[in-house]
Amino acid sequence: MLNYALRRLAMLPPMLLAVSLAVFLVLHFIPGDPARMAAGPDATEADVEQIRRNYGLDRPLYVQYGIYLGKAVRGDLGESFQTLAPVTEGIARTLPATIELAVAGMLIAVVIGIPMGILAATRPGGAIDSALTALAVLGISMPGFFLGLLLMLLFASTLGWFPPTGRGTWAQLVLPAGTLGLPYVATFARLTRSSMLDVLSEDYIRTAKAKGVPRSLVVFKHALANAAIPLATAFGMDFGRLLGGAVIVETVFAWPGMGRYLIDAIMARDLYVVQGVIIVFAALVVVVNLAVDLVYGFLDPRITYS
């Protein structure tokens, strides 16, 4: 397992290199002059040219990328055009908030979705199963920002149970985490249901029932344990989507995370901030998927790493 983990970690630098190159090219080919946006509307042409020279934006693209890459491997992701602060400082300031929000959202999806899927699998065709189908359609079709506004209107403005914005207390985490995690409740519930139904039809489950093994033991020890691998796979895949959703959720709820930091940078065409944040997002997704791959061996001892 150690060799497998090291091989997977060795793939991280090439993947980040490809991500950084793609982001660099996209940002430089979209319309707009980052130097002029950084200088402000009242800047003279001389000011814009000075900024362009200071950041090396007057050099060929391959030279700019080479300089950026050389600094990045030393941990220097450049400086923000707007604040002149190092990008690494901005990421270090906002990353904990994004991790907190993502973990809370995923916990909501898992803690609510998996039990719902188990109930639906043990009572197929029942009221819970039908409600789960309706919930799945609603969760897939409703945009995250719209769900956030609905939750804010109901629980913050109307009922006054939770604050609508900010970070610092558990109450301020409830609405953004719910907005982020609730759409994935249906995903985990449907996947749990389908995986459990497949496992519950196996011969060894019928044998356990025939021997008089308690129903709860059959469901949770035998069936759920063997249905856990698809759930772990979904966790790794959905974590990347959840980080993408965090960009919108953080903007709606004024959550001071990397998503909001990224949106502000995109609006200001702050190249180095956008590149740095996307690289960190990519690294997080790769590391989480590596962790999920390693968990497979604990969920099913028959799995070997070669």
Over 70: is that where the pLDDT of 65 sits?
yes
Q: Over the stretch 232-247, which tens digit does the pLDDT of each residue have?
A: 777 877 887 888 888 8
The average pLDDT across 130-150 equals 74
Q: Which residue blocks in the chain are alpha helix, DSSP H?
A: 2-10, 12-29, 34-39, 45-54, 61-72, 87-122, 127-141, 144-151, 170-200, 203-210, 215-217, 224-226, 228-252, 258-267, 271-299
Phi, psi for residue 151 in degrees, rounded to 5: -65, -40
The average pLDDT across 246-266 equals 87
pLDDT at 115: 85
In the chain the domains, ranked by start, together with CATH numbers, are: 2-72 (no CATH), 96-299 (1.10.3720.10)
Over 70: is that where the pLDDT of 70 sits?
yes
Q: What Cα–Cα distance (Å) separates residue 161 from each residue in 25, 150, 155, 207?
A: 46, 14, 5, 50
Give the containing element (helix H, strand E) for 157.
none
Task: Report the alpha-carbon distance of residue 207 to residue 212 in Å, rounded.
Answer: 9
Nearest to 251 by CA among 142, 122, 86, 101: 101
Beta bridge partners of 86: 79
Give the containing element (helix H, strand E) for 212.
none
Q: Which two tokens stand for residue 236?
A: 């790794």
Single-letter amino acid, residue 33:
D
More confident call, 287 vs 96 = 96
pLDDT at 91: 92
Highest mean pLDDT among 47-56, 70-79, 288-297: 70-79
pLDDT at 92: 92
Q: What is the pTM of this model?
A: 0.81
Q: Over the stretch 144-186, which tens digit does the pLDDT of each residue have?
A: 778 888 888 888 888 888 888 888 888 889 999 988 888 888 8
Give the CA angle between residues 250, 251, 253 to the nearest 5°.
65
Of 99-103, 175-179, 203-207, 268-272, minimum mean pLDDT range? 203-207
Q: Over the stretch 10-64, which tens digit does the pLDDT of each residue have?
A: 777 888 888 888 888 887 777 777 777 777 667 777 877 887 887 777 788 888 8
CA-only gyration radius of the chain, Å: 24
The average pLDDT across 67-90 equals 86
Nearest to 26 by CA among 278, 251, 282: 278
DSSP string, 230-287: HHHHHHHHHHHHHHHHHHHHHHHTT--SHHHHHHHHHHTT-HHHHHHHHHHHHHHHHH
Q: Which two tokens stand for residue 220?
A: 């949770």
Q: What is the mean pLDDT of the chain?
A: 80
Task: Report the alpha-carbon distance of residue 142 to residue 146 in Å, rounded.
Answer: 7
Task: Report the alpha-carbon distance of residue 242 to residue 12 in Å, rounded.
Answer: 20
pLDDT at 4: 66
